[in-house]
Amino acid sequence: MTKLETKKEELQERLEKNLQEIQGKELEEKTIQIRDRVLEKIQQKEKSGLQVCIALWDPVCGKDGKTYSNNCFANLAGVEVDYQGECK
C-alpha cells in the first residue's frame, strides 16, 4: 500500500468517525427537543385545570375524612386517598 493510499484510508476512517459523532449529537439534540415539547404539553395541561372524571361509583375515603365517588374525584378535589371504600 502506498503512502497516498494509506493517507486516503486514514482520512476515510476519520470522516466516518466524525459523521457518526455528528449523527449521534443530532439524534441526542432531537431527543431533547422532543422531551422538552412533551414536558411543555404536560405542564400546559396541568395549568389548564381541565380534568374530566367519569361517574363511576368506586368509593374512596380521602385523607380529609370525606367519601369521594372514585379516585378521580378525590384527585380533582386535591385530596389524597386514604383507603378504598366509603369513609367510616
H-helix or E-strand spanning residue 83: strand 81-84
pLDDT (0 to 100) of residue 49 = 66
Reduced to 3 states, what is the DSSP secondary structure of residue 81? strand
Number of Cβ atoms within 10 Å of the Cβ of 68: 22
| CA separation for the pair 47, 50 (Å, rounded) | 8
Report the chain (88 residues): mean pLDDT per 10 consecutive residues: 84 87 85 86 74 91 97 94 97
Query: Does the CA dihedral 58-55-80-36 come out positive or negative?
Result: positive
Full-model pTM: 0.45
pLDDT (0 to 100) of residue 81 = 97
Total residues belonging to the chain: 88
Number of Cβ atoms within 10 Å of the Cβ of 12: 10
